[in-house]
Amino acid sequence: MLLVAAMSLALAAPARAQTPAKSQPVLASPDAGFDMRPIVVGLGAVAGLVAFNVLALGPGALPGGLAYGAGAIVPAEMSVAISRVYAGSSAVLGSLVAHYKFAGGTSPDQFGGSAPHENSVSDELLTLSIGAVAGVTAFNIASTPFGIVPLAGGALAPVTESVALGSRLIAVSAMSAGALGTTWLYDRWAGTQSDYQYLATLAAGAIAGVATFNFIGSGTVGIPPYYVGAGAANAAGELATSAVQAGSRVYVVGSAAIGAWLADHYYRHH
């Protein structure tokens, strides 16, 4: 699931590329030492998810099941919302591990590899994307004994495929908004200037990637379950299996990453 994100994803540290024809997308800390911004932006992406869930759906859309009593049935829009939080958090954690463990956690001018304009996709973005997908996959494996949506608070109501697909769009959009907003706040605090054109391009690419793969796989982009009762209102249609619901967490992160890769390629060559 931003992302991704992405954030998935690509958005945990969304702009580390340098291009000869454009302003440098800066994501380094002011002293060009330990790079704190990926952590800040990753937390912002998850905060975007949590904020959307609470504002649109209420506390029942958060893990823990505190909003439900014994024997409760968790509505479809709530279970997919909780799943979004798990997907976003595990993707961000995976991308941060990849960044600091395998990419060195350095500022853009210190990151090893070929010059960015020589690569169709930045090495760092690829590393982050692999880390994000690995993080979500690891969560799915580790949480298997606890059900499709751990700590949901009750039995899960059936989820239609259209609702599951629509939830992916909410996930990547909310994470993108959270990541961009946090980047802006960080720039105000640190006195830095990020390349927002590049960041917006990545975010748009991630969202387009999710929507495109939704349509390719199911013939529809889905119906975003953004209000209480959305699950019941869209209960007609093919039901998503347990495997599909759990796999959706990986699917949204992967499709957002591919969309971000293509957006990165476009930005570097136009």
pLDDT in tens, 212-261: 999 999 999 999 999 999 999 998 888 888 788 888 999 999 999 999 98
Domain that holds residue 175: 9-269
Alpha carbon distance 266, 100 (integer Å): 26
Average pLDDT over residues 88-109: 78
Whole-model pTM?
A: 0.84
The answer to the question of residue 37 being in a domain is yes
Find, among 19, 31, 8, 25, the residue nearest to 249 by Cα. Answer: 8
The reply to whether 254 falls in a domain is: yes
What distance in Å separates the CA atoms of residue 47 and residue 223, rounded to the nearest whole number? 23
Which residues in 23-37 are b (16+ Cβ under 10 Å) and which e?
ebbbbbbeeeeebbb
- The answer to the question of residue 4 being in a domain is no
Q: How many separate domains does the chain show?
A: 1
Instruction: Please check whether residue 15 lies inside any domain of the structure.
Output: yes
Angle formed at CA 253 by CA 96 and CA 213, multiple of 5 degrees: 155
What average pLDDT does this structure show over 101-113? 49
Q: Is residue 134 part of a domain?
A: yes
pLDDT digits (tens, 9 = 90+) for 55-65: 999 999 999 88
Nearest to 186 by CA among 2, 4, 15: 15
Model confidence over 139-150: pLDDT tens digits? 999 999 998 999
247 domain-assigned: yes
pLDDT on residue 63: 92
In a domain, 16, yes or no: yes
Percent residues over pLDDT 70 in the chain: 80
